[in-house]
Amino acid sequence: MRKHFDYLSLFGEEKKPETLEEKIARIEQALADKDAEITQLKADKEGLEKKVNSLKVDGLVKKVEPTKQSEPEEIEFDFDM
């Protein structure tokens, strides 16, 4: 029977077999990390939705003031030179 070649052994690092408990612990940690990431993303999404809604409300509530038109300047010409 041929032994599987381990590339890590080329660099002096030997990979020890992982026990079932270690695998379970690693998977549970990964799941906990992903759950925390999902919770954070949901909170960020909720915050952004509130911000967008407040901007929409501000846009609807605020009335845009018409621009003030300046009165035309009266120019006086002096032809009595």
Q: Per residue in 27-51, pLDDT tens? A: 999 999 999 999 999 999 999 999 9
Instruction: Flag whether 16 is in a domain.
Output: no
b/e per residue, 49-58, with b = 16+ CB within 10 A? eeeeeeeeee
Instruction: Flag whether 4 is in a domain.
Output: no
pTM, rounded to two decimals: 0.49
Domain count, the chain: 1
Instruction: Flag whether 11 is in a domain.
Output: no
User: What confidence category does residue 6 fall into, taking pLDDT thresholds of 50, 70 and 90?
Assistant: low
> Which of 27, 10, 9 has its CA nearest to residue 18?
27
Distance of CA 18 to the CA centre of its chain: 36
> Which of 29, 80, 14 has its CA nearest to residue 6?
14
What residue type is assigned to position 25 of the chain? A
Domain with 44 in it? 29-56
**Least confidently predicted of 8-12, 30-34, 63-67:** 63-67
Looking at per-residue confidence, does 9 or 48 come out higher?
48
Instruction: Flag whether 35 is in a domain.
Output: yes
